[in-house]
Amino acid sequence: MHGAHHRDPAGDATLTEVADGVHAYVQPPGGWCLNNAGVIHDGGHSALVDTAATEARARGLRAAALRIAPRPPRAVVSTHFHGDHTYGNCLFPEALVIGHERTRSMVLAAGKHMAGLWPEVCWGDIDITPPQLTFRDRTTLHVGDVRAEIVHIGPAAHTTDDTVVWLPDQRVLFTGDLVMNGVTPFCAMGSVSGSLDALDRLRALGADTVVPGHGPVGGPGLLDANQAYFRYVRDLAADGAAAGLAPLELARTAGPGPYAGLLDPERLLPNLHRAYAEQQGREPGAPLDIGALFEEMSLYRGGRPACAA
């Protein structure tokens, strides 16, 4: 029955059926490191969209997946390289990990970088597990009768390896971190312009149900809300640069504005850095110093960004 909820015994995550054979695994409230995943199944076999940040949370996801399908997932699709979506891959040894070719190289390059940003988190026994099957533009995964279109959305939006999983028959879209709900969007490793373009591409798919990378499941209105945020950042950065303000000065002057209700408002700062870089002609996705941005976010919010994983 659609809308049925099951409580995850390992935490406060919920598993909700959003279409026949399609479940969203949501870890509230969805801030730093509390990502969403998906379980696609045909009654026998199953596949996952993303995993989770820590060993304990990935074990919770595994238990949830095994409650609705008798066998462990045979495939895991990684929507991008960030550790909250990929660290748990190692808890699914039976599965073939599928991802964009850049996702493989970036998972290997990043290693346990996220664990270094938040050393106080109990990450558990994480063995970095990159995609074993890679693609360049798009590929299709069949889970029984469920067709999952796996599409790279480039060149640079949330990251440079963003991948979505689109189920055309069910009209369900797993967006990875291209879309957030109730959580401040984040494009420090991608671009503002690319995020706006990506959301146009996603809208054209015609989804009825949108499973964001973080926050509650929603509808196509989530695409509009995220696009409005990136337009706000783009315009704020243009005004700030014209006034000669550095990103930190601008963020302190403007504050979160109409987006004060979103989790992790400190992300405004790295998003402004990215917008400034684009205005200065830097290529979308050109690397910024993420460590320095985290330090500046800590200054802006009066303490390190809080990871609840």
pLDDT value of position 84: 98
Q: What is the pLDDT of residue 237?
A: 98
Copy the structure tokens of residue 290.
Answer: 């993420």
Specify burial of residue 261 (Cβ count, 10 A radius: 0-12, 13-18, 19+). exposed
Query: 196-243, pLDDT tens digit by residue?
Result: 999 999 999 999 999 999 999 999 999 999 999 999 999 999 999 999
Q: What is the DSSP letter of 289?
A: -
| 26 pLDDT above the threshold of 80 | yes
Mean pLDDT for all residues in the chain: 95
Q: What is the mean pLDDT of residues 265-289?
A: 96
Beta strand segments in the chain, E:
5-7, 14-19, 22-26, 37-41, 46-49, 75-77, 96-100, 133-135, 138-143, 146-152, 163-167, 172-174, 209-211
The residue-averaged pLDDT of 160-186 equals 98
* SS3 readout for 188-241: CCCCHHHHHHHHHHHHHHCCCEEECCECCCECCHHHHHHHHHHHHHHHHHHHHH
- What pLDDT, on a 0 to 100 scale, did the predictor assign at position 6? 44
Beta bridge partners of 146: 143
Residues 239-258: tens digit of each pLDDT? 999 999 999 999 999 988 99
pLDDT band at 181 (very low <50, low <70, confident <90, very high): very high
Instruction: Assess whether pLDDT exceeds 90 at residue 44.
Output: no
Does the pLDDT of residue 291 top 80, yes or no? yes
Model pLDDT for residues 154-163, shown as the tens digit of each residue? 999 999 999 9
Give the whole-number percent of the chain exceeding pLDDT 90: 94
pLDDT band, very low/low/confident/very high, at 47 (cuts 50, 70, 90)? very high
pLDDT mean over 32-61: 96
Could you tell me the two tokens for 160?
A: 């440079």
Residue 43: pLDDT band (50, 70, 90) is confident
Q: Does residue 32 or residue 42 have the better pLDDT? A: 32
pLDDT tens-digit profile of 50-61? 999 999 999 999
Pairing of strands 172-174, 209-211: parallel
The dihedral built from the CA positions of residue 263, 269, 57 and 1, taken in this order, carries a sign that is positive
CB atoms within 10 A of CB 171: 16
